Amino acid sequence: MNRYQYHNKIAIYVLLASGVTFIGNNSFAKTESQKIRPASSFNRISVATKHKILKEKTQPIVNEAIEIESETQKAILALENKDTKAAISILQGVSTKLAGILAKNPGLDLVPARIETKVFDFNGSNKEVKSAIEEAEDMLKNGKLQSARHIVTGMASEIQVTTTSIPLGTFPGAIKQAIPLIESGKIDQAMVDLNSVLDTLAVVTEVIPLPVLRAEELLSEAAKLEHKDDLSQEASRDEIQKLTDAAKDQLELAKLLGYGNKEDYKTLYKEIDAIHKTLFSEQSAAAWQQVKDELAQFKNRLKALEEAALKIGHPAK
């Protein structure tokens, strides 16, 4: 690959990543299904996967923390309206809640107060993704950046989980310090300090590729089939093959959509293929565990790549 082709590829993956921002009507949404996909099983897994991850990600919220951000904003509004008595009362309540959180969670640095999720569920086939990338590359080659951007807009399949957390090392002290400022008539300074403390809220967005999650669920389903009493070994082999093929198809989609590098997928594909050599043998359990372990490592590599990309985009952080 020459330098021009390399930069062309990089530009495409940047466009794929930025496509999330421009999500609108997805022209690929009504296309044919993937080549290998057990329809009823896949649809059930698809819905269950999204439900499972959304449930898991919304569990860490601490009830007392939910109102702290909004109550602090209410105190600022009260100060703007010259209602110092209400502002002090609100901040005292916030301070009490923070003290309660600290007492229940000693040593905790951040407490989740708000979790927002967005789901971008791309339904196009792998073949269509390849075709769109080739078309976008051709547009880039001819200097048509905006046309290329519109081609890949919407080509994302992920859950974005944005967590807003309260820093317990600084937030409680800042709230306490605002109260005497108000009592001494330094309203403007109290408002500045309260707005500043709201700026210290930690906001982290985690991007979770749906095709990878679906591949994981498909492999989990496949692992169970080997021990089903109502299926013959031959029938089990056929169903396992369909599910592992569907899992690899989902991983291929994740790769095409720019989640991770090509090299990240090779070992995983190899471990999935190796399963079929050990079915119904003493080595089978170890083979399935190897796939599970490799998938976990793969997801960690994807997360590390995402975090590195965020640091590049936001060097101050």
Q: Please write the tens of the pLDDT for every residue from 29-86.
A: 333 333 334 455 566 666 777 777 777 776 666 778 889 999 999 999 999 999 999 9
The Cα 285–Cα 177 span in angstroms is: 59
Tokens of 284: 């089978």
The Cα 44–Cα 214 span in angstroms is: 10
Do residue 174 and residue 266 come from a single domain? no
Do residue 172 and residue 289 come from a single domain? no
Q: Residue 244 falls within a domain, yes or no?
A: yes
Q: How far is CA 158 from the centre of its chain?
A: 6
Q: Is 61 helix (H, G, I), strand (E, B) or coil?
A: coil
Which of 139, 167, 200 is the last residue in one of the domains?
Answer: 200
What residues have CB less than 8 Å from 129, skipping those under 6 apart? 155, 253, 256, 257
Q: Residue 140 falls within a domain, yes or no?
A: no
Domain of residue 111, CATH code: 1.20.120.1940
* Nearest by Cα to 238 from 69, 4, 8, 38: 38
The Cα 114–Cα 66 span in angstroms is: 6
Whole-prediction pTM value?
0.73
Q: Which domain holds residue 259?
A: 210-310
Q: Residue 1 falls within a domain, yes or no?
A: no
Q: Which residues are paired to 112 by β-bridges?
A: 165
Sequence-ordered strand ranges (E) for the chain: 110-120, 158-167, 202-209
Do residue 68 and residue 175 come from a single domain? yes
Do residue 177 and residue 290 come from a single domain? no
Which of 171, 200, 229 is the last residue in one of the domains?
Answer: 200
For 120-138, letters b (16+ CB in 10 Å) and e give bebebbbebbeebbeebbe
CA angle 152, 156, 2 (to 5 degrees): 55
What residues have CB less than 8 Å from 240, skipping those under 6 apart? 222, 225, 226, 275, 276, 279
What is the structure's pLDDT at 25?
31
Do residue 250 and residue 292 come from a single domain? yes
Q: Residue 104 falls within a domain, yes or no?
A: yes
Q: Residue 52 falls within a domain, yes or no?
A: no
- The count of domains in the chain is 2
Do residue 193 and residue 101 come from a single domain? yes
The Cα 172–Cα 86 span in angstroms is: 19
Residues in the chain: 317
Do residue 162 and residue 239 come from a single domain? no
What is the structure's pLDDT at 312?
52
Q: Residue 118 falls within a domain, yes or no?
A: yes
* Nearest by Cα to 52 from 147, 159, 129: 159
CB atoms within 10 A of CB 109: 11
Do residue 258 and residue 295 come from a single domain? yes
The Cα 26–Cα 129 span in angstroms is: 12
Do residue 173 and residue 282 come from a single domain? no
DSSP β-ladder status, 158-167 and 202-209: antiparallel
Do residue 172 and residue 294 come from a single domain? no
Which of 200, 226, 253 is the last residue in one of the domains?
Answer: 200
158 compared with 26, residue with greater pLDDT: 158
Do residue 101 and residue 162 come from a single domain? yes
Do residue 194 and residue 226 come from a single domain? no
What is the structure's pLDDT at 68?
94
Handedness of CA 289, 294, 298, 304 (dihedral sign): positive
pLDDT tens column, 194-239: 999 999 999 999 889 999 999 999 999 999 988 887 788 889 999 9
